[in-house]
Amino acid sequence: MRASLLVRNERDIAALQQRTLRVLLAAQVLAGAGLAAGVTVGALLAEDMLHSTGLSGLPAALLTLGSAAAAVGVGRLSQRAGRRPGLAAGYLVGAVGGTGVVLAAAIDSVPLLVLSLVLYGSGTATNLQARYAGADLAAPERRGRAVSTVLVATTLGAVAGPNLVEPMGSAAATLGIPRLAGPFLLASAAYALAAVVVSVQLRPDPLLTARTVATEAARVAAAAGTAAASPGVVSTALLRLGATAMIIAQLVMVAIMTMTPVHMREHGHGLGAAGLVISVHIAAMFLPSPLTGVLVDRVGRRGLIALALVPSLLVSRPGRIADGVTAAARN
């Protein structure tokens, strides 16, 4: 009897995990579009409003600042009340930020632009944290694959978003809004829809359910006089290693994504071309994630971080690659 109940519970958990992944996939497609659309033109908008190429990196800095602050807030809210309210709140703040950017561009207000970009960063942080919701109910040996499944869904929206920059710019122009603010209209709508999807569909909450399952397993084990399996504890050294790897990767990624649209515009390319290049870049970031997830589960975290260094070490002449990308864009 106990065995049949255990099997049934395992099946229920597996079914709930699949439902959770489907909901997160839908939310990530929307959130990915919101993230990529704004990132594509953020530097160009700042350059126009601040009249300085040197300050075109300001949006990336503000987005990162807002993302860091939101990560703490969304994380704490999720720990206290569950993934659903945490993710929904984060997406909504990102939507408010995107709307603020549009308004700032329309009235040419730099202070409002600065504040709005910080709020807009909340969408980025939430987009990243949604990946871990996919691992709440996953078996320990499949957590890497669960995270990668959610992550790869971002590709669909992130690739589509930059390619909608041109039509959204035209739509903004018809409303009397600067063209570069158009993609933030898309971003706001996408983040708002992602919040709705999470609020309505992410039930029961995966984090709260995982806690309930763990508590029940501990109670059953205690009654049987055995030790329940406890989740692995991440060491401080491993945490530092992961944080260092992410900081370095983020530095390289932000530098490339911030300056590429500015560089392309100075060479006579339009928003559509810049959006295409950014979408290809984002696709290359996210599409390999299913393979990455499998490698994390099989090779381990440290091994995969070391493996990720190999392509960088093989690229001895990055200048040639940049020249090749520019030449291809011109053609």
Residue span of the structural domain in which 9 resides: 2-226+237-330
Is 232 domain-assigned? no
Q: Where on the phi/psi map is residue 129: left (φ > 0), alpha (ψ -120 to 50), or beta? A: alpha
C-alpha span between 50 and 136 (Å, rounded): 43
What is the domain-level CATH number for residue 134?
1.20.1250.20
Model pLDDT for residues 157-189, shown as the tens digit of each residue: 767 766 777 788 888 889 888 888 888 988 899
Q: Is the pTM of the predicted complex or chain greater than 0.85?
A: no
Distance CA 129, CA 272 (A): 30
Distance separating alpha carbons of residues 77 and 89, to the nearest angstrom: 9
Burial tier of 197 (Cβ tally within 10 Å: 0-12, 13-18, 19+): buried
CA distance 20 to 269: 41
Let me know if residue 231 belongs to a domain. Answer: no
pLDDT at 168: 84
pLDDT given at position 165: 73
Over residues 133-158, the pLDDT tens digits come to: 988 988 888 888 888 888 887 777 76
Q: How far apart are CA 94 and CA 113, in angstroms?
A: 13
- Inter-residue contact 145 to 293 (CB < 8 Å): yes
The whole-angstrom separation of Cα 265 and Cα 46 is 14
Query: How many domains would you assign to the chain?
Result: 1
Residue reference for tokens 């520019």: 326
